Structure 1
Amino acid sequence: MNKKLLIILAVIVSTLTIGAGCAKQKIINLTNLPLVASSTVTTYYTYNQPVDGISYCDGANMDSGGYKAALVKYITLTLPGNLTTEERIKSVLDVAADNEQFNRVYTRTVSTTFENGIITMHSADGWAGSSIFYCRWKPFVEKNLEQFSEVKKIEWGKEFESEKAMGYIKYIYEKDKKNYLSIDYIQWLNKSECMAKNIEAPGGFCILNQTKDIRTFEISKNVEIRMQTLSHTVDGNYNWNEEINYQKFKNIFTSSSSQKNIPYNIGIENNKVVEITEQYVP
């Protein structure tokens, strides 16, 4: 009797062990099944016709607010994968910027960072015309990041706020109690740069004016103006970096003075001219 009982118990234990092993094997197989990637549905805002949006910021007009208000067309976008907030932001800006024909060399979204609710944008090195580019890019970014509740603040590097350029000042005038200047940008090339372009450089330099686009900027009330050849010191030399006020500078362009026909370097911050310096021409 005891022998039969032992045999029965042995069979039961063996069956349970095999069953447990099978169940365990099934669990392992389930965990090895491929996972289905998640996705995120979002939107981005753009202008109806990208080329038309350029007219808001073309040098003659610098209407960032008007451009932002015109970004009313939105497109649904599905981003694959389980992305972080920073990755979603970069993806949205890249797709939207391509649609609006922004150059990624200048947008540099690859350098964008997101930390503690703050998005930090970076730019390429400053170049003549960068203020025109950022006149559209900044409101474009701000509009497209409104959908991200995680973003509490957008910080722009100082490189976004300033630009330096050289050109011929065509007009200086007042409108709506604000002062403006219109300038035709040029390039000042040294002798080797001139030779590379097969341009003569009798004075060791040459001036290149590839476009005749006229850009207009508001002049800051605190603009600093420096002249190189306006007057002489007592020993007969030029009074280098002579500081003059805005009214005296404006009078140059309403007279027959030769100073109105020479190049000037301008410094721009937040789309306003804050510095004007005469370029000495040997």
Structure 2
Amino acid sequence: MKKMVFFTTLMISMLAFVTSANAVGSEYTPVPRSEDTITVMISSLENKNGSLYLQGDQIEWYEGAEADQKFLEHETDIGDMTHAPDGYYIVNDQEKLESFEIDPNAQVLMQLYDHDGTYEGVDVKWNEEVSLTKFLAIYQNNNLLDVSTFPFHLTIKDHKVVKIVQQYIP
């Protein structure tokens, strides 16, 4: 009996360890705000003179209590609603396309895209790193999921985009 209790306790401990080890990076975490990070809706990606450029409309992305506050400030016909639906709110007071050069070594982190051409392959993998070449292919493939409908956080250094992070929308 003591061996069985010991074995069961050991198995539960091991299962808890494995579960917690796999949980690292498996939950949504907001992209931290910084002076060199902006959020855009991408309208196009194109090569010009041997460099890759992104055309995008800068937006303001809010989550949580901040989203609720902005929602209440900007919306007028909301009845008895007291918070932003789905926990986020986007403000785009001025629609203006800007061009951003992408560093050829830019890091790209995706949350949700078509992995294999099946509906089962359209699944969330938090901050999955993909190459810039793969990102271009993902962006152009809108058969099952159009990633151009998602906001992207851009980190800009020395006037070039060095990091692109897809914003998950529930």
**SS at 1:186 equivalent:** strand
Q: Which residue of the partner structure matches residue 163 of structure 2? A: 275
**SS at 1:238 equivalent:** strand
**Per residue, is there more helix in 1 or in 2?**
1
Structure 2: unaligned runs, 5 residues or longer = 1-33, 79-83
Decide whether aligned partners of structure 1 residues 237 and 246 sit closer, same or farther in structure 2, where only a CA change above 3 A counts: closer
Q: Which of 72, 83, 90 is the aligned partner of 1:207?
A: 90
Shift of 1:248: 1.3
Shift of 1:258: 1.4
Structure 1: unaligned runs, 5 residues or longer = 1-124, 127-162
**Per residue, is there more strand in 1 or in 2?**
2
Q: Which residue of the partner structure matches residue 3 of structure 2? A: none
Q: Cα deviation per residue 1:223-261 (whole Å; 9 max; x = unaligned)?
A: 0000001268x9x96211111111111123323241121
Matched residue type, 2:158:
N
In the alignment, the residues of structure 1 paired with residue 123 and residue 132 of structure 2 have an alpha-carbon distance, to the nearest angstrom, of: 24
Q: Which residue of the partner structure matches residue 171 of structure 1? A: 44
Q: Cα deviation per residue 1:136-163 (whole Å; 9 max; x = unaligned)?
A: xxxxxxxxxxxxxxxxxxxxxxxxxxx2
Task: Count residues with an aligned counterpart.
Answer: 120
Matched residue type, 1:178:
S
Matched residue type, 1:168:
M
Q: TM-score, normalised by structure 1?
A: 0.39
**Does structure 2 retain, via aligned residues, the 8 Å contact 1:166–1:264?**
yes
> Could you tell me the percent identity over the aligned residues?
29
Radius of gyration: which is bigger? 1
Q: Cα deviation per residue 1:1-39 (whole Å; 9 max; x = unaligned)?
A: xxxxxxxxxxxxxxxxxxxxxxxxxxxxxxxxxxxxxxx
Matched residue type, 1:281:
I
In the alignment, the residues of structure 1 paired with residue 88 and residue 108 of structure 2 have an alpha-carbon distance, to the nearest angstrom, of: 24
Shift of 1:196: 2.5
Q: How does 1:1-282 map to 2 (within 5 A)?
A: 126=35, 163-189=36-62, 190-198=67-75, 201-230=84-113, 238-256=124-142, 257-282=145-170
CA RMSD of aligned residues (A): 2.3
Hey, which bits of structure 1, 4+ residues long, moved more than 6 A?
A: none
**Does structure 2 retain, via aligned residues, the 8 Å contact 1:171–1:253?**
no
In the alignment, the residues of structure 1 paired with residue 45 and residue 123 of structure 2 have an alpha-carbon distance, to the nearest angstrom, of: 29
Matched residue type, 1:278:
Q
Q: TM-score, normalised by structure 2?
A: 0.64
In the alignment, the residues of structure 1 paired with residue 94 and residue 168 of structure 2 have an alpha-carbon distance, to the nearest angstrom, of: 22
Shift of 1:192: 2.1
Which fold has the larger relative contact order, with Cα–Cα distance below 8 Å and residues 6 or more apart in sequence? 2
